[in-house]
Amino acid sequence: MSEPAEKPWNRLSGILLHFTSLPGPGGCGDLGPEAHAFLGRLKRAGQRAWQVLPIGPTGYGDSPYQTASIFAGNPILVSPLVLHHEGLLDADEIAAFSANSPSGAHADFGLAQHLRWPLLERACERLSSRQGEPLDLLRRDFARYREAEQGWLEDFALFMAIKEAHGMSPWFTWPAALRDRHPEALDEARSRLSGRIHLHAFVQWQFERQFRALRKAAHAAGIELIGDVPIFVAHDSVEVWREREQFLLQSGDGPGHGSAGQLAVQAGVPPDYFSRTGQLWGNPLYDYRRMEADGFRLWRRRIRRAAALFDRVRIDHFRGFAAHWEVPGDATTAEHGRWVPAPGAALFQALLSDPEIQSEHGGIRFIAEDLGVITPDVEELRDRFEFPGIRVLVFGFGPDDHYDGRPWAFRKNSVVYTTTHDNATLVGWYRGESEGTRDDAQASAEQRRVQAYLGYIPEPGDAHWALIGLALGTAADTVIIPVQDVLGLGNHARMNSPGKSQGNWGFRLRPGQLDDGSLDHLRQLTGIYGRLAK
Cite the active site residues: 316, 369, 422
CA 392 – CA 373 distance, rounded (Å): 15
SS3 380: helix
Alpha carbon distances (Å) from 237 to 169, 171, 282: 11, 8, 12
By C-alpha distance, which of 349, 362, 475 is closest to 3?
Answer: 475
Q: Which long-range contacts (CB under 8 A, 24 or more apart) does 374-381 make?
A: 374/319, 375/319, 375/322, 375/323, 376/1, 377/322, 377/323, 378/318, 378/319, 378/321, 378/322, 379/1, 380/1, 380/322, 381/318, 381/321, 381/322, 381/344, 381/345, 381/348
Longest CA–CA span in the chain (Å) reads 73
SS3 225: strand
Which H or E run contains 127?
helix 109-129
Contact call for residues 160 and 196 (beta carbons, < 8 A)? yes
* Single-letter amino acid, residue 197: I
How far out from the chain centre does Cα 235 lie?
17
**∠ at Cα 12 (7, 15), nearest 5°?**
145
